[in-house]
Each structure stands twice: as C-alpha cells, then as structure tokens.
C-alpha cells in the first residue's frame, strides 16, 4: 500500500535521491519534466568527479559518495537506483528496509531467485519497487496496446523483434561491462531486454524458446549476438535477433495479428515512439481501429512518460506502471534463452524453483 508521502512536503512534490550518475542523468531529466510532482534533492555516486559534474549540471547540492548516507535521509521519499547491475538487489532491499520507495534500473536482479527475494521483501515493506522499462512509454506502443486490449487486433500470428545496436571497445572500458560477474549477461540482458519486454507487453507471455548466442564483436565474456525462436502462450510465433555489431543502429518490432499489422519506428533507443505503422486487414478493421484511436492524445515518452505514470500510482496507491512481476517475466525469458543456448535444447516456461538455472542463468 503506497503512502502519499509526497504530500508531506511543503510543495507536495515527492523527493527523490538518484544513485548512479550514468543513465541516472536521464532519470533526473524524466523527473524534471514534472517539476510539480518530483524534486531530485540528493545525488549519490562513488565517482566524485561524476557526482560533482552531475550535481552542478542539475543544481543538486546535496551530494554523497555513500549509499548508506542516502538511506538515512529522512526527507527522501524515493531512492532511484542507477548503479551497475550486480548492485541492484542489495541496494533495492536496503531501500525497502529503510521504508522508502524504490525505482530500479534493469536488470533488477541476476536470477529468478534474487528477484523473488525482492518481491518477498516488497510484500513486507511500506514502499514498492518500480523497475524501469521506459520504452513502453511512447505513442506508438500506447496506441498498439490500446487496440490489442480492446480486442480489435484479433488472433496473434507472428512477431519479429530486432535489436541491432553497436558497441565498440570503448564502451567496455567501463569496468563492469562485458564481465559476467558484474554485467550478469550480454546483449540479451542489457540491451535487447527492452524490445523483448515490448514483445511480451503487446503479445503476452512466452511458452517456449530455442536460442543461440555468440560473442563475435568484442573480446568480452558476455554474448554480443543472439537469435531465438519463441512460441507464445497464445500460440503465436516470434523471432528475436539481437546484435551489438550493427553499423546502423535500429530497433524494430513487427507484430502480425489477424486484423492488423503493427510496425514500430526504427529509433534504436525509443522504438515505442511514433511513427508506428498500423496496417489494418480490411476496411472494417480500419474503421474500428480508427474509431478506437480517434480520441488518442499524444503523451510524454521515455523517462518523462514513465515518471508521470509513476506519480499517478504513488499518489493514488494504484498499480505501478512497471511492476516487479513485469521485471520477473523478462528475467524468466532471459533465463530460458540462456539455458537453451547453453544446452542446445528447447526450453519450456515457466522456469520453476527446481530448475537448474533458477538461482542464476550463469551457473547450472
């Protein structure tokens, strides 16, 4: 149950501490898009240079290199975790124990066992955990979701999902990247996780997977190329392709339903934004979809869209726009993909507690 702590502050805005000044800068921009709803009043990073530069950029004067200092700040409602992946579980659990709300970058955890610990802790805590899947917040995705949820798309047939990005050796100079112990996975976990989340967001859960992975682009421990065939619970089929070796970066989803085909934009880091093509199967489908979308109003995308929806959930106590169940679903898919690639076998979901990779996709 959310407590409307934002209301306790003089201006009614929820107070936020951002931890980690890489993508954390994007989160700050997202909060700043809602100045009446959020105020980022504290910043944490173990890198003092980055901390100072980000604090100066956004005029955030309260800065610390100590995560524990952040937990002790009584006037902070939300701790937003943007640190490297292997720190997320420990930090999220600590924030819940401190009685605050948590925003946590992907991946929330390095195993299904760990995310189940976070889910259990959330059940006991005053605060809740919102994982970050900001690609859902774009006009194209919103319209497709609306049409599908109204039942106008009909039977789902097939989807193709491409994540074709580019990462050079310079990217891996950041020490946590490219290493199994600190990045926890490669292109499937760190990069394609967004588009794969969009797939399940729009086409529902996955029933089985067969995957291949390879490391071909950079000399790293994690995979940087992957392909997979999926059967969705609906019976639809999906094909995933993910690489960090594309010299033109795109993300692309193409979703074929009985009544309509959706084609995303190609924007690599915001494929949910318009322009999406919505291609009806017939004049009748065209009319129905046209009517359903007639009142559609463009809304904020990316982090700004996510934070706007987050505020609504915080103040009303309603469902979070992205939940730990959503994050768990994406990590279950990741677990199945890694298990399939490692064993050369078809893997059925769900992944149970007795599965050899329930406690970590790296160790079977």
Ligand X SMILES: NC(=O)c1ccc[n+]([C@@H]2O[C@H](COP(=O)([O-])OP(=O)(O)OC[C@H]3O[C@@H](n4cnc5c(N)ncnc54)[C@H](O)[C@@H]3O)[C@@H](O)[C@H]2O)c1
DSSP assigned state of 115: H
Positive or negative, the CA dihedral 147, 198, 95, 56 is negative
For 154, what's the count of Cα atoms within 13 Å in the CB-facing half-sphere?
A: 17
Q: Please identify which residue in 4, 8, 47, 168 interacts with ligand X, judged by CB under 6 A.
A: 47
Name the one range near ligand X by CB under 6 A: 5-13, 21-29, 34-42, 165-173: 21-29
Residues 332-351 that bind ligand X (CB under 6 A): none
Our finding on whether 83 is near ligand X (CB under 6 A) is yes
Name the one range near ligand X by CB under 6 A: 15-23, 257-265, 270-278, 341-349: 15-23
Positive or negative, the CA dihedral 347, 351, 356, 361 is positive
C-alpha distances out from residue 358 to 116, 192, 352, Å: 10, 21, 7
Choose among 99, 200, 206: nearest CA to 141. 200
Q: What end-to-end distance do the CA atoms of the chain give, in Å? A: 37
Residues 6+ apart with CB under 8 A from 224: 167, 186, 187, 214, 215, 216, 217, 218, 243, 244, 245
Which strand ranges, in their side-by-side order, compose the sheet holding 237-243? 277-280, 260-263, 245-257, 156-166, 237-243, 225-232, 206-214, 347-348
Name beta bridge partners: 101. Answer: 78
Q: Shortest approach of ligand X to residue 61 CB, angstroms?
A: 18
Q: Which is nearer to ligand X, 6 or 271 (CB)?
A: 271
Our finding on whether 326 is near ligand X (CB under 6 A) is no
Taking residues 114 to 133 in sequence order and writing x for each that binds ligand X by CB under 6 A, - otherwise, the string is ------------------x-
Q: Shortest approach of ligand X to residue 193 CB, angstroms?
A: 8
DSSP assigned state of 76: -
Classified as helix, coil or strand, 327 is helix
Q: Please identify which residue in 13, 28, 44, 71 interacts with ligand X, judged by CB under 6 A.
A: 44
Give me the residue whose beta carbon is nearest to ligand X: 22
Q: Which is nearer to ligand X, 45 or 77 (CB)?
A: 45
β-pairing, 129-131 vs 225-232, is unpaired
Q: Which is nearer to ligand X, 213 or 259 (CB)?
A: 213
Q: Shortest approach of ligand X to residue 182 CB, angstroms?
A: 10
Choose among 31, 42, 97, 36: nearest CA to 75. 42
Taking residues 87 to 106 in sequence order and writing x for each that binds ligand X by CB under 6 A, - otherwise, the string is x-----------------xx
At residue 22, φ and ψ (nearest 5 deg) are -90, -100
Q: Please identify which residue in 16, 82, 192, 206 interacts with ligand X, judged by CB under 6 A.
A: 82
Q: Please identify which residue in 15, 41, 80, 85 interacts with ligand X, judged by CB under 6 A.
A: 85
Our finding on whether 21 is near ligand X (CB under 6 A) is yes
Our finding on whether 271 is near ligand X (CB under 6 A) is no
Q: How far apart are CA 319 and CA 341, in angstroms?
A: 35
8 A C-beta contact, residue 37 and residue 5: no
Residues 166-205 that bind ligand X (CB under 6 A): 174, 190
Name the one range near ligand X by CB under 6 A: 2-10, 46-54, 147-155, 256-264: 46-54
Our finding on whether 262 is near ligand X (CB under 6 A) is no
Choose among 81, 151, 140: nearest CA to 272. 140
Q: Which is nearer to ligand X, 16 or 260 (CB)?
A: 16
Name the one range near ligand X by CB under 6 A: 16-24, 108-116, 158-166, 339-347: 16-24
Q: Which is nearer to ligand X, 85 or 280 (CB)?
A: 85
Q: Shortest approach of ligand X to residue 84 CB, angstroms?
A: 5
Our finding on whether 55 is near ligand X (CB under 6 A) is no
Where do contacts with ligand X occur on this chain (CB under 6 A)? 19-23, 44-47, 50, 67, 82-85, 87, 105-106, 132, 134, 174, 190
């Amino acid at each position: 149950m959310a407590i409307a702590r934002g209301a306790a502050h003089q201006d009614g805005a929820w107070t936020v501490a951002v931890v980690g000044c890489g993508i954390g800068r994007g989160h700050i921009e997202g909060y700043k898009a809602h100045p009446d709803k959020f105020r980022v009043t504290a910043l944490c990073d173990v890198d003092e240079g980055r901390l100072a530069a980000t604090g100066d950029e956004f005029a955030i004067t309260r800065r610390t290199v100590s995560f524990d200092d952040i937990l002790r700040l009584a006037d902070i409602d939300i701790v937003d975790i943007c640190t490297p992946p292997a720190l997320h579980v420990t930090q999220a659990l600590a924030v819940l124990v401190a009685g605050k709300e948590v925003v946590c970058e992907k991946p929330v955890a390095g195993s299904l066992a760990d995310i189940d610990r976070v889910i259990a802790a959330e059940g006991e805590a005053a605060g809740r955990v919102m994982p970050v899947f900001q690609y859902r917040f774009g006009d194209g995705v919103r319209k497709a979701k609306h049409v599908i949820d109204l039942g106008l798309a009909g039977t789902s047939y097939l989807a193709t999902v491409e994540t074709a990005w580019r990462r050079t050796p310079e990217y891996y100079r950041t020490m946590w990247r490219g290493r199994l112990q600190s990045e926890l996975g490669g292109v499937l976990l760190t990069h394609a996780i967004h588009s794969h989340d969009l797939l399940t967001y729009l086409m529902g859960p996955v029933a089985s997977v067969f995957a291949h992975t390879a490391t071909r682009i950079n000399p790293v421990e994690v995979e940087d190329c992957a392909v997979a065939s999926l059967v969705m619970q609906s019976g639809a089929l999906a094909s995933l392709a993910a690489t960090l070796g594309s010299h033109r970066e795109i993300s692309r989803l193409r979703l074929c339903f009985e009544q309509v085909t959706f084609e995303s934009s190609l924007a690599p880091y915001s494929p949910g934004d318009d322009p999406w093509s919505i291609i009806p199967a017939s004049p009748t489908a065209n009319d129905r979809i046209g009517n359903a979308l007639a009142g559609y109003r463009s809304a904020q995308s990316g982090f700004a869209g996510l934070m706007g929806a987050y505020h609504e959930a915080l103040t009303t106590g309603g469902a979070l726009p992205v939940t730990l169940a959503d994050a768990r679903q994406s990590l279950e898919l990741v677990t199945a993909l890694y298990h399939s690639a490692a064993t050369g076998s078809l893997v059925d979901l769900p992944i149970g507690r007795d599965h050899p990779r329930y406690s970590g996709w790296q160790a079977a």
